[in-house]
């Protein structure tokens, strides 16, 4: 047998990763929830480690409080926050925070009251257990949402609640634990202290995460051309944020990581190149896969190692306590989800949460890593520690095996596996365009292949034409199914997304600076929000924002009191220069959007005449932008045109040198020297 502890751990991890990879391949075919299967497999591995000597090394690794919180939680939380749609999160922040904070506290009280009545746990111990068991962990559910194409709003409601109630659970748990350890009574003073501590933890977590995220923007910005360094820096950001918040400032590490992830997510979306965005996204998806795979396999190993099923079989009282616990959490979850949501729907009828969403949120409230981490944090001599750990394992196993395996059927029953009409239109459009472009490849195939057989070309053409006809039929049917307002909104969303891509291309090509890209993205966000609210066409936001306002105010005061000052004249020239850039970029985008929009509709077989209101509006914006450019003073305008021409020339030379490097015509060192000399 192996006696080197480090080598044993290495072998354990390799075996677990191999099991995870093989499971991922097999389970994709079997349509079985990945994380649920890993728990079952982990239990099987634990049984092998106990009963078969060659597999004894599998008993080395088990879950612990520190392993979960300090190793697994930061990447899982950070990956979720990094990919959150921050605008969709803000629009649904009220129901998310209501369920995550007041909802969790109410659930803690309900579970605590029931268990203090029906088990040997005291009221403080029951409340402590209620706080740790009320945190949801819908990893399996979110993965299923993505697979089935469930509505984005449902995903943000479930995932957002999980992110924030993890933090609420940890903070509440620590507050109650502190009250128990210090021997205080659960009176008004303890509640007041707890409330203040709760606010400090939440607010402090937001501040710490935002500050660390903003601080790390500088090194991340400097490493934009080195994706490996970029990925490493984001890893440092996730773990450092958690450690600083928990161990230095003593505030919520989960909320800090969520805040840092949202800050980096905005920066990644708006200011990183396409290649860097793709790499960072894939890197964090891989880290999340590793963390989820290991943590759920280790859940199964831990269940096996603690002899959970054997204890349940031998102890009738434990089985009864688990049953009462399951009843209490299901009852508390129902009261929280349906009760609070009903109140919010009456208060915010325009942003109400559908009943079908409430049902999925209720049944999808699985328990997992955070619950186990808190249960494993008890000291060995803590009263009723073993019972609370067994109850936690019972709830985790039940929610993974029952709701975790039936949530897909529930989604299909509620018809939430069908994407919204907007998403179905986008899917049909993508299918139609892909078939059209495949058909356009026929001449290339004919000229590339050596003496192609006519029947093969005819068969390929017939296949593409059939696919294109079917795709266009589906798209036209969906387009006709939508009412006039929905069709106009869909067209405008498409136009605004094309405009966003045009600005992004100008930025990636080096023509546009980061502040301008951020400015245009903000303007497009405002327009898309207006379209979502039914404002078609959307109003054009004012030329943005604080910086321009300050500049204009400075110029106004400077020209009044120091009209000949060189600094004022320099600021005036810079303002004219930036204004020219803004309107120049706007003019280019408003000219290109109608052209691309027409091309999309023509290639997909839709009626181009339907685009006319949108095209007319863009043409009007183009005239306004061109007019604004022509109003500029001649000298700054000429300087602007010169700078753009130089950037185009430099970019073209750079691409040529990169192509020569890629084919081996010149060395990378020679190419870099040529680029730097230019």
DSSP 82-149: HTS-HHHHHHTHHHHHHHHTHHHHHHHHHHHHHHHHHSS--HHHHHHHHHHHT----HHHHHHHHHHT
pLDDT of 557 strictly over 60: no
Closest CA to 163 of 205, 121, 214: 205
Average pLDDT of span 501-514: 79
Residue 151 region by backbone torsions, left for phi larger than 0, else alpha for psi between -120 and 50, else beta: beta
What is the pLDDT confidence band of residue 169, given thresholds at 50, 70 and 90?
A: confident
What is the pLDDT confidence band of residue 573, given thresholds at 50, 70 and 90?
A: low
Element spanning 260, H or E: helix 253-271
Q: Give the pLDDT score at 150.
A: 75
- Between residues 501 and 455, the one the model is more confident about: 501
Radius of gyration of the chain (CA): 29
Measured between alpha carbons, how far is 302 from 68 in angstroms, rounded to an integer? 12
Measured between alpha carbons, how far is 392 from 288 in angstroms, rounded to an integer? 24
Average pLDDT of span 476-487: 82
Q: Give the pLDDT score at 129.
A: 92
pLDDT of 599 strictly over 70: yes
Two structure tokens written together for 600: 């999309």
Measured between alpha carbons, how far is 590 from 502 in angstroms, rounded to an integer? 10
Q: How far is CA 353 from CA 89, 340, 641, in A?
A: 14, 11, 51
How many percent of the chain have pLDDT more than 90?
11
Measured between alpha carbons, how far is 383 from 389 in angstroms, rounded to an integer? 11
Measured between alpha carbons, how far is 47 from 520 in angstroms, rounded to an integer? 58
pLDDT of 561 strictly over 60: no
Q: Give the pLDDT score at 648.
A: 65
Q: What is the C-alpha end-to-end distance of the chain, expressed in Å?
A: 63
How does the average pLDDT of the chain come out, rounded?
A: 80
Long-range contacts from 343-347, C-beta under 8 angstroms, 24+ separation: 344/94, 344/95, 344/98
In this structure, are residues 42 and 299 in contact, taking their beta carbons and an 8 Å threshold?
yes
Average pLDDT of span 611-628: 88
Measured between alpha carbons, how far is 161 from 179 in angstroms, rounded to an integer? 26
Closest CA to 176 of 127, 133, 249: 127
pLDDT of 563 strictly over 60: no
- Our CA angle for 374, 377, 382, nearest 5°, is 115
Closest CA to 60 of 112, 115, 9: 9
Helix runs in 454-565, H state only: 454-481, 484-508, 514-532, 546-561
Average pLDDT of span 421-445: 77
What is the pLDDT confidence band of residue 331, given thresholds at 50, 70 and 90?
A: very high
Q: Give the pLDDT score at 266.
A: 81
Q: List b or e across 184-211, with b for residues whose CB sees 16 or more CB atoms inside 10 angstroms.
A: eeeeeebeeebeebbeebbebbbbbbbb
Q: Give the pLDDT score at 601.
A: 84
Q: Give the pLDDT score at 562.
A: 43
Two structure tokens written together for 358: 């409430």
- Between residues 214 and 32, the one the model is more confident about: 214
Closest CA to 294 of 29, 7, 35, 30: 35
310-324, 405-419, 486-500, 571-585 — which is least confidently predicted?
Answer: 571-585
φ, ψ of residue 561 in degrees (nearest 5): -100, -25
Q: In angstroms, how far is CA 233 from the centroid of its own chain?
A: 19
Q: Would you mind telling me the total number of residues written for the chain in this entry?
A: 678
At 443-462, the pLDDT tens digits run 777 677 667 777 777 777 78
In this structure, are residues 121 and 381 in contact, taking their beta carbons and an 8 Å threshold?
no
**Mapping DSSP to helix (H, G, I), strand (E, B) and coil, where does residue 372 land?**
helix
How many percent of the chain have pLDDT more than 70?
83
Q: In angstroms, how far is CA 334 from the centroid of its own chain?
A: 27
What is the pLDDT confidence band of residue 524, given thresholds at 50, 70 and 90?
A: confident
Q: Give the pLDDT score at 349.
A: 74
Measured between alpha carbons, how far is 71 from 60 in angstroms, rounded to an integer? 17
At 174-187, the pLDDT tens digits run 888 888 887 776 66
């Amino acid at each position: 047998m192996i006696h080197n502890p480090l080598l044993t751990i290495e072998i354990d991890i390799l075996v677990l990763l191999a099991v995870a990879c093989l499971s991922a391949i097999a389970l994709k075919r079997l349509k079985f929830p990945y994380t649920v299967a890993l728990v079952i497999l982990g239990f099987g591995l634990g049984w092998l480690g106990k009963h078969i000597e060659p597999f004894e090394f599998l008993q080395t690794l088990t879950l612990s409080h520190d392993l979960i919180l300090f190793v697994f939680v930061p990447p899982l939380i950070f990956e979720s926050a990094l990919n959150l749609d921050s605008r969709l999160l803000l629009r649904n922040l009220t129901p998310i925070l209501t369920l995550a904070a007041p909802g969790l506290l109410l659930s803690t009280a309900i579970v605590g009251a029931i268990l203090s009545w029906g088990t040997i746990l005291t009221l403080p111990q029951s409340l402590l257990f209620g706080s740790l068991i009320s945190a949801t962990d819908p990893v399996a559910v979110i993965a299923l949402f993505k697979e089935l194409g469930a509505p984005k709003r449902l995903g943000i409601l479930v995932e957002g609640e999980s992110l924030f109630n993890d933090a609420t659970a940890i903070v509440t748990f620590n507050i109650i634990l502190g009250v128990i350890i210090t021997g205080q009574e659960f009176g008004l003073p303890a509640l007041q202290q707890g409330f203040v501590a709760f606010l400090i933890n939440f607010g402090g977590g937001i501040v710490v995460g935002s500050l660390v995220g903003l601080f790390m923007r500088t090194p991340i910005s400097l490493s934009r051309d080195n994706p490996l360094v970029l990925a490493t820096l984001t890893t440092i950001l996730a773990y450092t944020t958690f450690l600083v918040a928990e161990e230095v400032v003593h505030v919520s590490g989960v909320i800090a990581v969520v805040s840092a992830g949202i800050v980096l997510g905005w920066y990644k979306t708006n200011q990183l190149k396409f290649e860097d965005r793709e790499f960072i996204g894939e890197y964090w998806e891989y880290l999340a896969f590793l963390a989820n795979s290991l943590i759920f396999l280790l859940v199964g190993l831990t269940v096996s190692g603690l002899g959970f099923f054997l204890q349940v079989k031998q102890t009738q009282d434990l089985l009864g306590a688990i049953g009462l616990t399951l009843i209490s959490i299901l009852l508390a979850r129902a009261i929280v989800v349906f009760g609070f949501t009903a109140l919010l729907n009456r208060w915010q009828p325009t942003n109400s949460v559908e009943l079908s969403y409430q049902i999925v949120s209720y049944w999808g409230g699985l328990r997992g890593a955070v619950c186990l981490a808190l249960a494993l944090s008890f000291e060995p001599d803590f009263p009723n520690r073993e019972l609370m750990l067994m109850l936690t394992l019972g709830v985790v196993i039940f929610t993974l095996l029952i709701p975790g395996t039936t949530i897909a059927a529930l989604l299909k029953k509620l018809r939430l596996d069908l994407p919204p009409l907007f998403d179905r239109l986008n899917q049909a459009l993508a299918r139609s365009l892909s078939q059209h472009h495949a058909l356009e490849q026929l001449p290339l195939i004919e000229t590339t292949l050596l003496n192609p057989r006519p029947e093969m070309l005819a068969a390929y053409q017939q296949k593409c034409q059939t696919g294109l006809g079917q795709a266009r039929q589906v798209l036209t049917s969906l387009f006709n199914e939508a009412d006039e307002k929905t069709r106009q909104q869909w067209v405008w969303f498409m136009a605004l997304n094309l405009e966003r891509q045009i600005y992004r291309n100008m930025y990636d090509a080096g023509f546009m600076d980061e502040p301008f890209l951020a400015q245009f993205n903000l303007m497009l966000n405002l327009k898309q929000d207006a379209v979502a609210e039914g404002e078609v066409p959307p109003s054009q936001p004012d030329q943005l924002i604080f910086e321009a306002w300050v500049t204009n105010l400075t110029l106004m005061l400077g020209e009044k009191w120091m009209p000949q000052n060189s600094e004022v004249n320099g600021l005036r020239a810079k303002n004219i220069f930036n204004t020219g850039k803004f309107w120049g970029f706007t003019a280019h985008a408003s000219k290109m959007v109608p052209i691309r929009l027409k091309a999309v509709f023509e290639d997909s077989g839709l009626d181009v005449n339907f685009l006319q209101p949108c095209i007319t509006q863009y043409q009007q914006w183009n005239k306004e932008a061109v007019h604004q450019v022509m109003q500029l003073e001649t000298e700054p305008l000429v300087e602007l045109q010169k700078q753009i021409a130089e950037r185009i020339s430099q970019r073209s030379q750079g691409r040529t040198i990169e192509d020569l490097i890629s084919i081996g015509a010149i060395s990378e060192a020679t190419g870099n020297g040529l680029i730097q000399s230019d």
